[in-house]
Structure 1
Amino acid sequence: MIPSADSFKAAMRRVPSAVAIVGAAHQGERRGLTATAVCSVSAEPPQLLVCVNKRVRAHDHIRLAGHFGVSYLSQDQGDIAQAFAAPAGAPEDRFRTGDWTSGSTGAPLLRQALAAFECRVAQAIDCGTHTIYIGEIVALAQKDDLSLLYKSGLFSAA
């Protein structure tokens, strides 16, 4: 029997995941979301993927922009994760939390991210409720710190 969406979500909540902000800029407007479905794809060429729900405002922005930024959060950046997870409010208001810059593609990147990746969309794969965006990494930055994790609805450090 195929599991229900609710049982699948409940099981996935038990698995700790690194927390990232995925964002894009298009025609002078930025959009972003908190994401845990982010992972590496390839080292040669360097690529990563993000899974983005089709209902979030950033989804079409990534497609239209042709680029995105991924900023993995440090242990003390839970406020940023919360700001980008909130469904209400003006999209630009989210970027008032944290210190943001723009990469060469225009993708928004958090200056104090644990690791930040600027990507050009190499592929977009339709997958049920989400689109899997595969990005070719064009720039990255990193720092030493503990990662912000999400598990069972709570943030913690590791």
Structure 2
Amino acid sequence: MTFNVSKTEFRNAMARVCAPVNVITTRGAAGRGGFTATAMCSVTDEPPTLLVCMNGRSSQAELFRTNARFCVNVLTGEHRDLAGLFAGQEGDMEKRYAAADWLDLASGNQALADAIVSFDCVLTDIKSVGTHNILIGEVKEVRSRKDGHALLYFDRNYVHVPTQTGSFGG
């Protein structure tokens, strides 16, 4: 039995999956970079590890590999414009970074100062699957805030779903 799912059919189906919007940043010997991603999830909590998918043809792919670190910044509804900038609307990396406030982390990475949560990661592995690289990172530092509402992506649009604030213990 043969099943054939077209690229278009798959993309249209994935558009129906709601996902948090993240800006993935890196800073190191190769320079500073960043992109917007919705393909991010936890892998395990021993050790704390997550993954991010990045287009393997991106001009930044080698930058992330060389720096061997990245920070996942989970965005709020107030970050809609920033998400667009890091999605490629602005090619100049300095202009992207100038649009927000950043904090320097012990690793050398930078975290978005008002992200809901930031995961600072050391790159432990890269897997190439089709057109994308799966960046696997061990989480070395977590910064989070107790307020704010996540910016989500659904049906090819940014959406905002209010949630109860302070939903976890400090």
Length-normalised TM-score, structure 2? 0.87
CA displacement 1:18-38 (0-9 Å, x = unmatched): 000011113362110000000
Q: Count matched residues.
A: 158
Q: 1:8 offset after TM fit, Å?
A: 1.0
* CA separation of 1:57 and 1:26: change in aligned 2, threshold 3 A: farther
Tell me what 1:118 maps to. Answer: 120
Deviation of residue 7 (structure 1)? 1.6
CA displacement, residues 70-90 of structure 1 (integer Å, 9 cap, x when unaligned): 000012110110110125521
The residue aligned with 2:101 is 99
The 1-side partners of 2:79 and 2:69 are apart by 24
Q: Distance in 1 between matches of 2:10 and 2:89?
A: 22
Q: Which runs of 5+ in 1 are unaligned?
A: none
Find the counterpart in structure 2 of residue 155 from structure 1: 158
The 5 Å alignment of 1:72-111 reads 72-111=74-113
* 1:156 CA drift (Å): 1.2
Which residue in the other structure is 1:22 paired with? 24
1:14 shift after superposition: 1.1
RMSD across aligned C-alpha pairs, in angstroms?
1.4
The percentage of aligned residue pairs carrying the same residue is 34
What's the TM-score, normalizing by structure 1?
0.94
Q: Distance in 2 between matches of 1:128 and 1:87?
A: 25
Secondary structure, in 3 states, of the residue corresponding to 1:68? strand
AA paired with 2:93? P
